[in-house]
């Protein structure tokens, strides 16, 4: 069975994509005001260009509005024929040419506006993303151990894209919409105030109906998302555990559950789709209502000589121009809310507490020997639960420390403290007599080479991965390191050898990855070593290779080994026994056996069993 | 998309016809409005009375209302049909996947099957809903409008047609330019995502190697690439709006300008010219929405294709007819010269395996990764079928039994302790029709070494299990999945490397418990630890799909080189007690 990545995309509402855009459930920001202010601050450097864009937006809208008025004049000119006069074609052509220029200019202005806005939104979001990435480097490891990666990822992409969309489309759209509403109103009043008032009747109707529809459709949309979530969760569970369902004859049970979910999804999906789809006919109706009112009232007015017939045509176009921005203005609240909610998440991340800065006058250790001392070390992952109490141990240069304990005993804690991934609460860790707090983090980490079981390799060539710890090395050194790590031969069998690109589809086994990380560590050649021994997830032959490579790596280095193999443990100078996060025993193999404590129990239960003889 | 419509019921087909009728009515009514407007102009020209105009006005109002009602009915039906159709498709998909054997599951991959039955169906549901409305509007609109226009002025019809063509050309060019960039953009987003994920998952290694700067540079490169293409697409898309405006305004202008000329030549009435501007805009808008619809289509066509692939795939494991069992052979498992290869593979994963497990025996299977251990075990509950030879359970070839009776006789514990969301109780009871009594439940929990942690919960076995059982540890999951298998009280228990998530001590105690408390049950154990298999009645050593050793620990230490090597790599000579 393939494992399904547990990184689920959160179902966050975004807008811009999809046919139901603008109809989605709106997520509300916690602190609307302060987040909005922060967002505005991001836009501030672009104030000048932004103003230019808005001026162009207004200008193009104004042209858009003057157009129908001239068109009406042209029609009026045609009307003279009803009274037996000749149409003045010269005049019509004059107006026509003016309109061509006007429309062309309007389009150009409109484009300039769009060009500027899309540029600004890309620049701002590019910067936000960079800030997020830089922030990642400044956060303490605790943040990553306690938050879901998918969540941070979605801030980089989804949330930032939501902001981009709003800046790009909604912002100028709203400005245009408001300009249009005002401009069209002015134009209408200048032609006939009665007709203008008649058109205005449609505004409250439109607003009322839209907000009603949005309210309903959001309710149903939420229901739909809920049942979709249930459905997805069930399907994911069943499909990923296909063999279990089969082995336990669970098909019928699951099918009943599926039918239930499917029915719920059907009803909510149908309702959500219908209510969202109501927007169009209702707005068409409002548009048509305006159309009818203009035609009828206009007709009556013309008949009574208040306005000219061409004005009806102008109004007909105005009514159309009117209904579109009305919808936009009605939805502005929602767009703004979801954007501010998105930027709130981004800003919250950017404001997370950072690492304490390195010591301002750091010491340097020349020629690291590798004496390590833990002095009264206390540590807990959370403030109210201390797991390591007053721990003392002194490790001489070149010694081997084995860390043992059952699964989940917190063996990586020692790694976290040595590499300064986490800071100790009290006490001190000394390297060659110098407290690691007085060194820069970079220097501390340079003293250690680390090989973890989680074989993290990145997308790139094998060579790039191996020289990850030390960039300026020759090909010979790389090959020598790989030979030491027993992986050179394998690399040579790959297409392109050292330039083979590691990626999702590359055919590298877990064991081979492990060897690559050993090669990477070999190149780094640091005076001390942190090693996580492989468990049995690789085949025997590869395990032999790994073991041999690891043994080479530990030679002449102070090494801390999370040990699973008996030989490593027995040969260790110091064994640290961990249970439930705490170091409960320490000593050599023989000392600990004599003590007859937890280690002895562990050792006896796993290794000394005889056939049919429980201990 | 169209092929999937075979799942529509008769009633739904009728509804589609009704939609067409209602859409036609709506379009017809919409297009009546300009006619009535023209009539108002005529009344004005003829110096009619105010009440005449009001009468026409009321008729128009009625028409507008009716037209909206038609739209609402049509869109209700469209939602009803598309949601209904997708419910059917979803059920068919689910049935299909449920019938799949492991071979088909692997062919598609679980992740892909999940997206296919969720996202892909949601995608096509939306498009069906839109399509059922928009697809009919534009042609009907064009048809009726053209019939009206052509009767009135062929010259203006040509102008309109010209603008429609111009608009279509513009939009098509636009999409031709932008679509490939969209694909590229998706790749850049993926890259950005993968670099960020790398930064997050590798945070320990990055910091240990002091490579924050290198990583930042990588991110910046990805960010720049993505922004660059975003900029291009953004600027290109910014053209769409002005272009549409100029086409719309241009059409009105062209009709009025040219219309005035025609009116001057007495080839056209003024009121007709005005009605014409309305028709023309409507036609243009309906074509516009149609193109927008087609812009959505490619993605859903891909979805539809992915769905049809699943529906078309038939399982290779068919139910047997049912068999008569010989009670004396209950609990027996026999591999009779079994070979197995995956569909498209050249090499056999298992070659000529023969062994027999008698009732109550423990048979262990050991070998390195990729030696075929799990594959061998998967043949017993018929997750796969053998290529050659036969697997017999309870004395009968598994292919002759119904899947239900076969699987009823097997308690299976997977490699990964997979539990379902619900409670501890619901998980343990998963394989049985009625629930365990509380004594039985306690017993099962005790044997599986779960009682200790389960009883620590306030609500004991009623304790909630989250999805993917994220609220309990790997070892606890494994123990509960053993309890689930025990609850079935079956003749056979299969452990697919199920002990590796347990610490050595629990592993040991658990196996002793199994030996004592369920001694009549035949046990097949796959393992990598020598310690786990040492005391089995029979050990089968696999290497590269071949059986290189069969016997007890003592025998194998003497006779089997592979076994000996494996043993020495894990335990010392003394501990192996040779």
DSSP annotation of A355 = P
- For chain B, say whether A278 makes contact (Cβ under 8 Å): yes
Side-chain half-sphere CA neighbours of A574 within 13 A: 20
| CB of B110 closer than 8 Å to CB of A1 | yes
Contacts of A195 (CB under 8 A, 6+ apart): A188, A294, A297, A298, A301, A307, A311, A315
- Give me the mean pLDDT over the B11-30 stretch: 92
Q: Residue A111: pLDDT band by 50, 70, 90 thresholds?
A: very high
Give B192's contacts in chain A (Cβ within 8 Å).
129, 156-157
pLDDT at A218: 84
A291 to chain B: nearest residue by CA?
B33
Tens digits of per-residue pLDDT, A558-596? 888 887 777 778 888 889 888 877 888 888 888 888 888
User: In A486-565, where does DSSP find H-type helix?
Assistant: 488-493, 510-524, 540-554
The three-state DSSP-derived secondary structure of A66-108 is HHHHHHHHHHHHHHHHHHCCCCCHHHHHHHHHHHHHHHHHHHH
Count other C-beta atoms under 10 Å from residue B314's C-beta. 10
* Mean pLDDT, range B359-387, rounded to an integer: 86
Report residue A14's pLDDT band, with 50, 70 and 90 as the boundaries.
Answer: very low
pLDDT above 90 covers what percent of chain A?
Answer: 8
Which of A71, A249, A450 has the CB atom closest to B253's CB atom? A71
Residue A41 has pLDDT above 70, yes or no: yes
* Least CB–CB distance from B212: residue in A137, A277, A312: A137
Separation in Å, CA of B354 to nearest CA in chain A: 23
CB atoms within 10 A of CB A105: 13
Confidence grade of residue A3 (pLDDT, cut at 50, 70, 90):
very low
The pLDDT confidence band at residue B83, using thresholds 50, 70 and 90, is very high
pLDDT in tens, A428-477: 999 888 888 888 888 888 888 888 777 788 888 888 888 887 778 888 88
Which chain A residue has the Cα nearest residue B292? A19
pLDDT bin (cut points 50, 70, 90) of residue A613 is very low
Q: How do strand B538-543 and strand B362-367 relate by DSSP bridges?
A: parallel
Task: Indicate yes or no: CB of A258 within 8 angstroms of CB of B296.
Answer: no
* Contact between A245 and B110 (Cβ < 8 Å): no
- Cα–Cα nearest to B95, from A259, A308, A191: A259
Q: Which residues of B touch A87 (CB under 8 A)?
A: 260, 263-264
Q: Do B201 and A456 touch (CB under 8 A)?
A: yes
- At B488 the pLDDT is 87
Task: Give per-residue pLDDT as tens, B191-207.
Answer: 888 888 888 888 888 88
Q: Is A256 within 8 Å of chain B by CB?
A: no
Q: Which residues of A touch B278 (CB under 8 A)?
A: 316
CB atoms within 10 A of CB A37: 12
Q: Tell me if B126 and A278 make a contact (CB, 8 A cut-off).
A: no
Computed over every residue of chain A, the mean pLDDT equals: 81
Check whether domain A372-607 has CATH 3.40.190.10, yes or no: no
Helices (H) and strands (E) in chain B, counts: 21, 12
The CATH code belonging to domain A30-192 is 1.20.1560.10
Note the helical H segments in A139-248: 141-146, 149-154, 160-165, 171-191, 193-200, 202-240, 242-247
With 80 as the cut, is the pLDDT of residue B10 above it?
yes
Residue A15 has pLDDT above 80, yes or no: no
Q: What is the pLDDT of residue B302?
A: 85
- Least confident residue range of B129-143, B465-479, B515-529: B465-479
User: pLDDT confidence of A390, banded at 50, 70, 90?
Assistant: confident
Q: Which of B200, B207, B408 sits opposite A421 (nearest CB)?
A: B207
d(CA B154, CA A387): 89
Q: Is A201 in CB contact (< 8 Å) with chain B?
A: no
Cβ within 8 Å, pair A277-B474: no
Residues 151 through 170 of chain A touching chain B, CB cutoff 8 Å: 152-153, 156-157, 164, 168
pLDDT at B574 over 70: no
Q: What is the per-residue pLDDT across B41-57, written as a single tens digit (0 to 9) for each?
A: 888 878 788 888 888 88
Q: What is the pLDDT of residues A190-207, one digit of tens each?
A: 888 888 888 888 888 888
Whether A270 and B83 lie within 8 Å, measured CB to CB: yes
Chain pair A-B, CB pairs under 8 angstroms? 455
Supply angle C-alpha A385, A391, A397, rounded to 5. Answer: 140
DSSP A437: G
Q: Which residues pair with residue B290 across a beta bridge? A: none
Spacing of C-alpha B176 from chain mean position: 30
Nearest CA in chain A to B418: A241
Interhelix angle for B270-312 vs B240-264, to 10°? 140
Q: What are residue B550's DSSP bridge partners? A: B540
Distances (CA, A) of B393 to B50, B319, B364, B403, B523: 94, 15, 17, 12, 13
The mean-pLDDT minimum among A77-81, A419-423, B123-127 falls in A77-81
Q: Can you give the pLDDT at residue B80?
A: 93
pLDDT, chain B, mean: 85
Q: pLDDT confidence of A407, banded at 50, 70, 90?
A: low
pLDDT per residue over A229-277, tens digit each? 888 888 888 888 888 888 888 888 899 999 999 999 999 999 988 988 8
The stretch A215-237 carries a mean pLDDT of 86
Residue A539 banded pLDDT, cuts 50, 70, 90: low
Question: pLDDT band at A606, cuts 50/70/90?
Answer: low
Going by pLDDT thresholds of 50, 70 and 90, the confidence category of residue B106 is confident
With a cut of 80, say whether residue A300 has pLDDT above it: yes
**Min CA distance, A366 vs chain B (Å)?**
18
**Chain A residues close to B566, C-beta within 8 Å:** 540
pLDDT at A17: 35
CA dist B338 and B354 (Å) reads 6
pTM of the model: 0.74
Q: Is the pLDDT of residue A70 over 80?
A: yes
Out of B110, B196, B404, name the one closest to residue A239 (CB): B110
Residue bearing the bigger pLDDT, A4 or B331: B331
Q: What is the pLDDT of residue A258?
A: 93
Q: Which of A506, A413, A414 minimizes the C-alpha distance to A459? A: A506
Please, which residues 65-94 of chain A have a Cβ atom closer than 8 Å to chain B?
67-68, 71, 74-75, 77-79, 81-82, 86-87, 89, 92-93
Interface pTM, i.e. ipTM: 0.82
Phi and psi, residue B441, nearest 5° = -60, -50
In chain B, pLDDT over 70 holds for what percent of residues? 96
Among chain B residues, CA nearest to A144: B200
Residue B522 has pLDDT above 70, yes or no: yes
Averaged pLDDT for residues A347-362: 85
Cβ–Cβ of B75/A280 closer than 8 Å?
A: yes
- Between CA B138 and CA B147, with CA B143 as vertex, the angle to 5 degrees is 145
pLDDT grade for A2, boundaries at 50, 70 and 90: very low
In percent, the amount of chain B with pLDDT more than 90 equals 16
Residue pair B154/B272 in contact by the 8 Å Cβ criterion: no
Position A408 scores a pLDDT of: 65
A233 touches chain B (CB under 8 A): yes
pLDDT digits 0-9 by tens, B214-240 = 889 989 999 999 999 989 988 888 888
Please list every residue in chain A whose beta carbon sits closer than 8 Å to the beta carbon of residue B203.
136, 141, 144
Segment A598-602 mean pLDDT: 81
Q: How far apart are CA A209 and CA B51, in angstroms?
A: 31
């Amino acid at each position: 069975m393939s494992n399904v990545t547990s990184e689920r995309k959160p179902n966050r509402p975004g807008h811009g994509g999809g046919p139901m855009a603008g109809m989605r459930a709106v997520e509300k920001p916690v602190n609307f005001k302060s987040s909005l202010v922060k967002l505005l601050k991001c836009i501030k450097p672009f104030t000048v260009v932004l103003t230019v864009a808005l001026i162009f937006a207004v200008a193009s809208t104004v042209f858009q509005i003057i157009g129908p008025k001239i068109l009406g004049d042209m029609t009026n000119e045609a009307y003279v024929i009803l009274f037996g006069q000749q149409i003045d074609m010269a005049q019509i052509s004059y107006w026509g040419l003016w309109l061509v220029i006007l429309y062309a200019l309007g389009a150009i202005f409109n484009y300039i506006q769009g060009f500027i806005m899309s540029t600004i939104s890309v620049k701002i979001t590019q910067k936000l993303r960079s800030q997020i990435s830089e922030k990642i480097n400044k956060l303490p490891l605790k943040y990553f151990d306690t938050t879901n990666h998918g969540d941070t990822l979605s801030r980089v992409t989804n949330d930032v894209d939501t902001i981009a969309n709003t800046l790009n489309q909604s912002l100028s759209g709203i400005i245009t919409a408001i300009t249009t509403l005002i401009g069209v109103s002015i134009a209408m009043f200048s032609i006939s105030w009665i007709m203008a008032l008649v058109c205005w009747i449609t505004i409250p109707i439109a607003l009322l109906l839209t907000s009603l529809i949005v309210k309903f459709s959001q309710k149903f949309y939420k229901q739909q998302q809920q049942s979709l979530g249930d459905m997805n969760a069930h399907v994911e569970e069943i499909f990923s555990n296909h063999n279990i369902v089969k082995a336990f004859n669970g098909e019928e049970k699951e099918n009943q559950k599926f039918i239930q979910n499917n029915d719920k999804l059907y009803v909510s999906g149908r309702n959500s789709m219908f209510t969202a789809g109501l927007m169009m006919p209702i707005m068409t109706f409002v548009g048509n209502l305006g159309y009818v009112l203009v035609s009828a009232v206009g007709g009556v007015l013309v008949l009574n000589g208040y306005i000219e017939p061409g004005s009806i045509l102008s109004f007909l176009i105005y009514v159309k121009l009117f209904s579109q921005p009305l919808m936009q203005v009605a939805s502005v609240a929602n767009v703004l809310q979801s954007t501010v909610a998105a930027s709130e998440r981004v800003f919250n991340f950017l404001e997370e507490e950072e690492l304490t800065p390195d010591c301002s006058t750091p010491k340097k250790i020349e020629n690291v020997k590798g004496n390590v001392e833990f002095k009264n070390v206390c540590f807990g992952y959370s403030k109210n639960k201390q797991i390591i109490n007053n721990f003392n141990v002194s490790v001489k240069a070149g010694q081997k420390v084995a860390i043992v304990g059952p699964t989940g005993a917190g063996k990586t804690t020692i790694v976290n403290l040595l590499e300064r991934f986490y800071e100790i609460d009290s006490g001190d860790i000394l390297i060659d007599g110098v407290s690691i707090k007085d060194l820069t983090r970079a220097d501390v980490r340079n003293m250690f080479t680390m090989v973890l079981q989680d074989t993290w390799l990145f997308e790139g060539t094998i060579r790039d991965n191996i020289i990850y710890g030390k960039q300026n090395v020759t090909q010979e050194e790389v090959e020598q390191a790989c030979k030491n790590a027993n992986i050179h031969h394998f690399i040579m069998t790959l297409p392109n050898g050292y330039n083979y690109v590691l990626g999702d589809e590359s055919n590298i086994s877990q064991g081979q990855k492990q060897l690559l990380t050993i090669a990477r560590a070999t190149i780094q050649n640091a005076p001390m070593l942190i090693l996580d021994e492989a468990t049995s997830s690789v085949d025997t032959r590869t395990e032999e290779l790994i073991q041999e490579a690891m043994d080479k790596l530990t030679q002449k280095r102070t090494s801390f080994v999370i040990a699973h193999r008996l030989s490593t443990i027995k040969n260790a100078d110091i064994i640290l026994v961990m249970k439930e996060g705490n170091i409960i025993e320490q000593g050599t193999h023989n000392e600990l056996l004599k003590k007859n404590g937890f280690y002895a129990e562990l050792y006896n239960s796993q290794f000394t069993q005889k056939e049919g003889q429980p201990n | 998309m169209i092929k999937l419509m075979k799942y529509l019921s008769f009633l739904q087909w009728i509804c589609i016809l009704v939609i067409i009728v209602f859409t036609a009515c709506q379009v017809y009514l919409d297009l009546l409005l300009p006619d009535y407007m023209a009539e108002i102009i005529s009344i004005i020209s003829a110096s009619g009375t105010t009440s005449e105009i009001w009468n026409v006005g009321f008729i128009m109002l009625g028409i507008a209302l009716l037209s909206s009602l038609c739209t609402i009915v049509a869109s209700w039906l469209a939602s009803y049909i598309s949601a209904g159709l997708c419910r059917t498709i979803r059920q068919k998909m689910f049935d299909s996947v449920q019938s799949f054997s492991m071979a088909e599951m692997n062919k598609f991959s679980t992740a892909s099957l999940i997206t296919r039955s969720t996202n892909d169906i949601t995608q096509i549901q939306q498009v069906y809903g839109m399509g059922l409305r928009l697809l009919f509007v534009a042609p009907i609109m064009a048809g009726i409008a053209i019939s009206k226009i052509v009767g009135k002025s062929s010259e203006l019809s040509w102008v309109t047609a010209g603008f429609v063509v111009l608009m279509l050309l513009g939009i098509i060019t636009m999409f031709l330019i932008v679509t490939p960039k969209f694909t590229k953009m998706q790749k850049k987003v993926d890259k950005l995502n993968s670099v960020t994920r790398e930064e997050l998952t590798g945070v320990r290694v990055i910091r240990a190697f002091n490579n924050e700067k290198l990583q930042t540079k990588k991110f910046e490169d990805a960010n720049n690439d993505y922004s660059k293409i975003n900029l291009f697409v953004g600027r290109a898309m910014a053209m769409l709006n002005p272009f549409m405006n100029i086409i719309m305004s241009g059409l009105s202008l062209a009709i009025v300008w040219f219309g005035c000329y025609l009116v001057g030549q007495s080839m056209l009435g003024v009121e007709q010219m005005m009605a014409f501007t309305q028709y023309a805009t409507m036609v243009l808008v309906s074509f516009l929405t149609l193109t927008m619809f087609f812009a959505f289509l490619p993605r859903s066509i891909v979805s539809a294709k992915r769905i049809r692939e699943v529906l078309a795939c038939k399982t290779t494991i068919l139910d047997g007819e049912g068999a008569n069992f010989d009670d004396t052979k209950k609990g027996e498992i026999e591999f009779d010269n079994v070979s197995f290869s995956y569909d498209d593979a050249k090499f056999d994963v298992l070659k000529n395996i023969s062994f027999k497990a008698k009732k109550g025996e423990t048979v262990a299977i050991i070998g390195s990764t990729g030696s075929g251990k799990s594959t061998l075990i998967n043949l017993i509950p018929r997750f796969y079928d053998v290529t050659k030879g036969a697997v017999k359970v309870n004395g009968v070839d598994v292919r002759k039994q119904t899947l239900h009776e076969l699987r009823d006789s097997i308690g299976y514990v997977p490699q990964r302790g997979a539990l379902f969301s619900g409670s501890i109780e619901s998980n343990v009871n998963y394989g049985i029709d009625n629930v365990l009594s509380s004594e039985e439940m306690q017993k099962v929990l005790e044997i599986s070494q779960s009682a200790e942690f389960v009883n620590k919960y306030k609500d004991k076995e009623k304790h909630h299990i989250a999805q993917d059982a994220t609220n309990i540890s790997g070892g606890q999951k494994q123990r509960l999945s053993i309890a689930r298998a025990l609850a079935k009280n079956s003749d056979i228990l299969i452990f697919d490397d199920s002990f590796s998530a347990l610490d050595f001590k629990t592993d040991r105690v658990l196996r002793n418990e199994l030996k004592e408390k369920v001694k009549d049950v035949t046990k097949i154990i796959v393992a990598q630890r020598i310690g786990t298999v040492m005391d089995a009645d029979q050990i089968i050593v696999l290497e590269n799909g071949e059986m290189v050793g069969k016997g007890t620990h003592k025998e194998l230490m003497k006779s089997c080189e592979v076994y000996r090597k494996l043993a020495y790599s894990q335990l010392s000579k003394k501990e192996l007690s040779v």
